[in-house]
């Protein structure tokens, strides 16, 4: 029992590195994930339940964060909004991390014209702002989450790919990789079993930060009306709705989801930087 | 240097060509007939469809269509807007001043605030540094539209200092109308620049030649100006390039949030109604500015640090 508890504590310490700020950020992220997962059980009201008589009501016991212009409960909509808010970036980060890792390792391992071709391709994608790519795709395929997520997944590939390539190039010259080569292991095995695990922490740090950035980008697209469509609740779309109520003096419908976005992005940034710092320390 | 410039220009043209091809070709990725697509789903008689096909050269092979469109773009003819029934070039030209004012205003704020805050953090370690780290952490995590909401709440609704909507006329009107949008646009990027300035200056401060200068009794301000700041300008200029380029995209969010009629807002409203000629033209314009900003940074780098010239690819 104690051994298990001890091991668990050591695991926790490895996770947060003993830094109070890191711990706080991880707790915030855990809370957001829990809220998103348990939305149907903890939301006090139906997120789409209209009640025009209670429109733009301020904070009260029944509605802790007030109601929006259609009388829907802001807190419940925010709780459900955490679902779309996390799901979109999750897909973006998963796709861009895998694609970026594959492209980066391939470029570094093969070298020569493959490296040149892949690097130029990544430069090209890097030259296209992700937000613009998403807007163009929305123009073609219509609004909804699909086009923005697809665009962001592609746009974030160079961020991961360039990093992986540079690290992998350095890593490939190190003795342990060289000796595997001499021993006749195949490139596949060396890359998958030995190279990838060694560069994974650094990629993880970048991906954590990308999660925050893509959350911001996707929320921005929803704010513009290109992402999550009504009546589905989303933090960005809620801000768009709440903006008109702002001039009537009701600030909570717009400010509350705005605060949620900032808190989530800050937390992801702190976690990402923390991991990157520790990787840097380990390397040094 | 000439070869470097030539290579960079060739790369820029290649990027622009690829973008133009992608932007123009994207309409063919859309499900359905492009002519119907250009009608934005409105019911159309066969005659109107035929007219649209003729107007947009839809009966030609793709390469010919692309060539005609690109030829038009190069001579400043971006086609006609479906939504406004006007030349796209004119629509953009009418809105460009607002956007340029906004971007210039925001860029100024970013440079002044970012450099000053970053320098303060690097030079005054301790409390100031901690405050700056937390402040820039929050600033970089605040998307422009959230900043816009916060600024409108405080400065328009509560304090009535600045208007929440509209373009404004005359120089003074523009400044008062564009102040909140510029701040909202600048916040994220200023935080980013402050962080880069801070770490870059800290790196320069730790170098030996700075210590030598100090121990020889060179005044502190001179050391910072001549030995620290100059040496840290490399990363700062790189980030400034990306920032200015990023401004051009984020401006569409801020213009929408503040109801400014600029190029970014034109892009957003055109996407909403599927006004494809406008979307194509604005996208190309944004990428052009993006690439141009990065080229400028590459050209400025050797001026800041002559060692870069030798290392130029």
Q: What is the pLDDT of residues B54-108, one digit of tens each?
A: 776 677 777 777 887 788 777 777 777 777 777 888 888 888 888 888 888 999 9
Among residues A146, A156, A162, which one has the least CA distance to residue A97? A156
Candidate from B143, B246, B256 with C-beta closest to A261: B143
* pLDDT in the model for residue B38: 65
Give A66's DSSP letter.
Answer: -
Q: Are B169 and B98 in contact (CB under 8 A)?
A: no
The C-alpha atoms of residue B46 and residue B24 are separated, in whole angstroms, by 24
Torsion region of B22: left, alpha or beta (phi above 0 gives left; psi -120 to 50 gives alpha): alpha
Q: Are B89 and B78 in contact (CB under 8 A)?
A: yes
How would residue A93 be classed by pLDDT, with cut points 50, 70 and 90? Answer: very high
Set of chain B residues whose Cβ sits within 8 Å of the Cβ of A247: 152, 156-157, 164
SS3 of chain B: the string is: CHHHHHHHHHHHHHHHHHHHHHHHHHHHHCCCCHHHHHCCCCCCCHHHHHHHHHHCCCCCCHHHHHHHHHHHHHCCCCCECCCCCCEHHHHHHHHHHHHHHHHHHHHHHHHHHHHHHHHHHHHCCCHHHHHHHHHHHHHHCCCHHHHHHHHHHHHHHHCCCCCCCCCCCHHHHHHHHHHHHHHHHHHHHHHHHHHHHHHHHHHHHCCHHHHHHHHCCCCHHHHHHHHHHHHHHHHHHHHHHHHHHHHHHHHHHHHHHCCCCCHHHHHHHHHHCCCHHHHHHHHHHHHHHHHHHHHHHHHHHHHHCCHHHHHCC
A21 touches chain B (CB under 8 A): no
Are residue B54 and residue B190 in the same domain, yes or no?
no
The per-residue b/e assignment along A28-60, b for 16 or more CB within 10 angstroms, e otherwise, is: bbeebeebbeebeeebebebeeeeeebebbeee
Are residue B179 and residue B60 in the same domain, yes or no?
no
Average pLDDT over residues A165-173: 84
Beta carbons of B279 and A225 less than 8 Å apart = no
A67 phi, psi to nearest 5 deg:
-125, 160
Instruction: Tell whether the model's pLDDT for residue A186 goes beyond 90.
Output: no
A89 SS3 class: helix
How would residue A4 be classed by pLDDT, with cut points 50, 70 and 90? Answer: low
Mean pLDDT of chain A: 81
The C-alpha atoms of residue A227 and residue B24 are separated, in whole angstroms, by 23
The C-alpha atoms of residue B69 and residue B72 are separated, in whole angstroms, by 5
B32 phi, psi to nearest 5 deg:
95, 180
pLDDT digits (tens, 9 = 90+) for B128-183: 888 888 888 888 888 888 888 888 888 777 777 777 666 666 677 677 778 888 88
What angle is formed at CA A117 by the lines to CA A114 and CA A120, rounded to 5 degrees?
145
- Of residues B7 and A106, the one with the higher pLDDT is A106
Q: Are B177 and B168 in contact (CB under 8 A)?
A: yes
Residue B245 lies in a domain: yes
Lowest mean pLDDT: which of A14-23, A196-205, B99-108? A14-23
Domain assignment of residue B52, given as a range: 2-74
Are residue B194 and residue B259 in the same domain, yes or no?
yes
Instruction: Tell whether the model's pLDDT for residue B195 goes beyond 60.
Output: yes
**Which residues lie across from B70 on neighbouring strands?**
none
Q: What percent of chain A has pLDDT over 90?
A: 7
Residue B80 lies in a domain: no
Instruction: Tell whether the model's pLDDT for residue A16 goes beyond 60.
Output: no
Residue B310 lies in a domain: no
Are residue B59 and residue B171 in the same domain, yes or no?
no
Are residue B133 and residue B225 in the same domain, yes or no?
yes
Beta carbons of B283 and A135 less than 8 Å apart = yes
Are residue B190 and residue B213 in the same domain, yes or no?
yes
Give A53's DSSP letter.
Answer: G
Q: What percent of chain B has pLDDT over 70?
A: 89
* pLDDT in the model for residue B18: 83
Average pLDDT over residues B282-302: 82
How would residue A143 be classed by pLDDT, with cut points 50, 70 and 90? Answer: confident
* pLDDT in the model for residue A6: 57
Shortest CA gap B227–chain A (Å): 27
pLDDT digits (tens, 9 = 90+) for B170-190: 677 677 778 888 888 998 889
Are residue B95 and residue B55 in the same domain, yes or no?
no
Are residue B61 and residue B160 in the same domain, yes or no?
no
Residue B82 lies in a domain: no
What burial class does residue B92 get, using C-beta atoms within 10 Å of its C-beta: 0-12 exposed, 13-18 middle, 19+ buried? Answer: buried
Beta carbons of B152 and A225 less than 8 Å apart = no
* pLDDT in the model for residue B166: 67
Structural tokens at position A252? 């909570």
* pLDDT in the model for residue B231: 78
How would residue B274 be classed by pLDDT, with cut points 50, 70 and 90? Answer: confident
Beta carbons of A266 and B138 less than 8 Å apart = yes
Mean pLDDT of chain B: 80
**Which residues lie across from B302 on neighbouring strands?**
none
Candidate from A128, A239, A249 with C-beta closest to B19: A128
Are residue B152 and residue B45 in the same domain, yes or no?
no
Average pLDDT over residues A104-113: 86
The C-alpha atoms of residue B231 and residue B210 are separated, in whole angstroms, by 10
The C-alpha atoms of residue B71 and residue A77 are separated, in whole angstroms, by 50
Are residue B70 and residue B94 in the same domain, yes or no?
no
Among residues A163, A181, A173, A174, which one has the least CA distance to residue A279? A163
Lowest mean pLDDT: which of A167-171, B64-68, B187-191, B276-280? B64-68
**Which residues lie across from B155 on neighbouring strands?**
none
Average pLDDT over residues B36-43: 64
A270 touches chain B (CB under 8 A): yes
118-147 of A, contacting B, C-beta below 8 A: 124, 127-129, 131-132, 135-141
Set of chain A residues whose Cβ sits within 8 Å of the Cβ of B291: 127
How would residue B313 be classed by pLDDT, with cut points 50, 70 and 90? Answer: very low
Work out how many domains chain B is built from and give that number. Answer: 2
Residue B141 lies in a domain: yes
Average pLDDT over residues A224-235: 82
Structural tokens at position A213? 């950035």
Domain final residue, candidates B74, B100, B115: B74
* pLDDT in the model for residue B169: 66
As for the ipTM of the complex, it is 0.81
Domain final residue, candidates B19, B44, B74: B74
The C-alpha atoms of residue B219 and residue B227 are separated, in whole angstroms, by 11
Are residue B111 and residue B61 in the same domain, yes or no?
no
**Which residues lie across from A67 on neighbouring strands?**
A73
A20 touches chain B (CB under 8 A): no
Beta carbons of A243 and B149 less than 8 Å apart = yes
Set of chain A residues whose Cβ sits within 8 Å of the Cβ of B138: 262, 266
Instruction: Tell whether the model's pLDDT for residue B309 goes beyond 70.
Output: no
* pLDDT in the model for residue B312: 45
Are residue B26 and residue B109 in the same domain, yes or no?
no
Shortest CA gap A126–chain B (Å): 10
Residue B309 lies in a domain: no
* pLDDT in the model for residue B84: 77
Torsion region of B33: left, alpha or beta (phi above 0 gives left; psi -120 to 50 gives alpha): beta
- Of residues B214 and A13, the one with the higher pLDDT is B214
Ordered structural domains, chain A, with CATH: 71-283 (1.10.3720.10)
150-209 of A, contacting B, C-beta below 8 A: none
Contact residues for A43 (Cβ-Cβ < 8 A; gap 6+): A73, A75, A76, A79, A80
The C-alpha atoms of residue B159 and residue B261 are separated, in whole angstroms, by 24
The per-residue b/e assignment along B176-214, b for 16 or more CB within 10 angstroms, e otherwise, is: ebbbbbbbbbbbbbbbbbbbbbbebbbebbeeeebeebe
Set of chain B residues whose Cβ sits within 8 Å of the Cβ of A240: 145
CATH number (domain holding residue B244): 1.10.3720.10
The C-alpha atoms of residue A106 and residue B276 are separated, in whole angstroms, by 37
Q: Is the peptide bond before A231 cis (omega within 30 degrees of 0)?
A: yes
Instruction: Tell whether the model's pLDDT for residue B228 goes beyond 90.
Output: no
Instruction: Tell whether the model's pLDDT for residue A90 goes beyond 90.
Output: yes
Instruction: Tell whether the model's pLDDT for residue A246 goes beyond 80.
Output: no
Set of chain B residues whose Cβ sits within 8 Å of the Cβ of A220: 143-145, 253
């Amino acid at each position: 029992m104690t051994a298990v508890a001890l091991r668990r504590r050591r695991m926790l310490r490895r996770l947060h590195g003993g830094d109070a700020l890191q711990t706080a950020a991880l707790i915030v992220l855990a809370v957001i994930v829990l809220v998103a997962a348990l939305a149907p059980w903890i939301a006090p009201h139906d997120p789409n339940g209209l009640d025009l008589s209670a429109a733009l009501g301020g904070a009260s016991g029944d509605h802790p964060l007030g109601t929006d212009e259609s009388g829907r409960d802001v807190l419940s909509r925010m709780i459900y909004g955490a679902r779309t808010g996390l799901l979109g970036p999750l897909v973006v980060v998963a796709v861009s991390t895998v694609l970026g890792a594959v492209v980066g390792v391939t470029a570094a391992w093969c070298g020569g014209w493959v490296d040149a071709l892949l690097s130029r391709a990544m430069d090209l994608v890097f030259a296209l702002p992700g937000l613009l790519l998403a807007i163009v795709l929305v123009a073609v395929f219509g609004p909804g989450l699909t086009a923005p997520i697809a665009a962001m997944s592609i746009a974030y590939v160079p961020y991961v790919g360039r990093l992986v390539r540079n690290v992998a190039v350095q890593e490939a010259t190190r003795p342990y990789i060289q000796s595997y080569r001499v021993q006749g292991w195949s490139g596949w095995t060396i890359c998958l079993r030995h190279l990838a695990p060694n560069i994974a922490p650094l990629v993880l740090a970048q991906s954590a930060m990308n999660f925050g950035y893509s959350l911001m980008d996707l929320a921005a697209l929803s704010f513009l009306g290109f992402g999550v469509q009504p009546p589905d609740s989303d933090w960005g779309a809620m801000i768009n709705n709440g903006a008109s109520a702002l001039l009537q003096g009701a600030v909570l419908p717009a400010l509350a989801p705005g605060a949620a976005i900032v808190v989530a992005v800050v937390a992801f940034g702190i976690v990402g930087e923390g991991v990157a710092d520790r990787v840097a320390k380990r390397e040094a | 240097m000439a070869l470097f410039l030539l290579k960079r220009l060739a790369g820029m043209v290649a990027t622009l060509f690829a973008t133009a091809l992608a932007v123009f070709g994207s309409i063919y990725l859309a499900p359905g007939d492009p002519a119907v697509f250009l009608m934005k789903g409105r019911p159309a008689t066969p005659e109107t469809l035929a007219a649209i096909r003729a107007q947009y050269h839809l009966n030609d092979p793709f390469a010919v269509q692309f060539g005609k469109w690109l030829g038009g773009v190069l001579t400043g003819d971006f086609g006609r807007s479906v939504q406004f029934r006007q030349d796209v070039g004119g629509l953009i030209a009418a809105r460009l001043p607002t956007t340029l004012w906004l971007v210039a205003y925001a860029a100024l704020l970013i440079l002044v605030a970012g450099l000053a805050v970053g320098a303060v953090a690097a030079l005054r370690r301790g409390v100031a540094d901690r405050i700056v780290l937390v402040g820039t952490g929050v600033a970089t995590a605040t998307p422009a539209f959230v900043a816009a909401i916060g600024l409108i709440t405080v400065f328009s609704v509560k304090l009535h200092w600045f208007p929440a909507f509209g373009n404004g006329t005359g120089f003074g009107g523009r400044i008062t109308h564009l102040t909140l949008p510029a701040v909202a646009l600048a916040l994220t990027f200023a935080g980013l620049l402050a962080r880069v300035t801070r770490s870059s200056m800290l790196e320069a401060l730790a170098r030996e030649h700075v210590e030598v200068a100090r121990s020889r009794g060179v005044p502190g301000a001179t050391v910072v100006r001549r030995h620290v700041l100059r040496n840290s300008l490399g990363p700062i200029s790189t980030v400034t390039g990306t920032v200015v380029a990023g401004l051009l995209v984020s401006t569409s969010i801020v213009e929408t949030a503040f109801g400014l009629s600029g190029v970014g807002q034109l892009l957003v409203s055109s996407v909403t109604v599927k006004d494809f000629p406008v979307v194509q033209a604005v996208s190309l314009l944004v990428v052009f500015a993006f690439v141009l900003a990065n080229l400028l940074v590459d050209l400025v780098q050797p001026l800041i640090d002559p060692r870069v010239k030798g290392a130029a690819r």
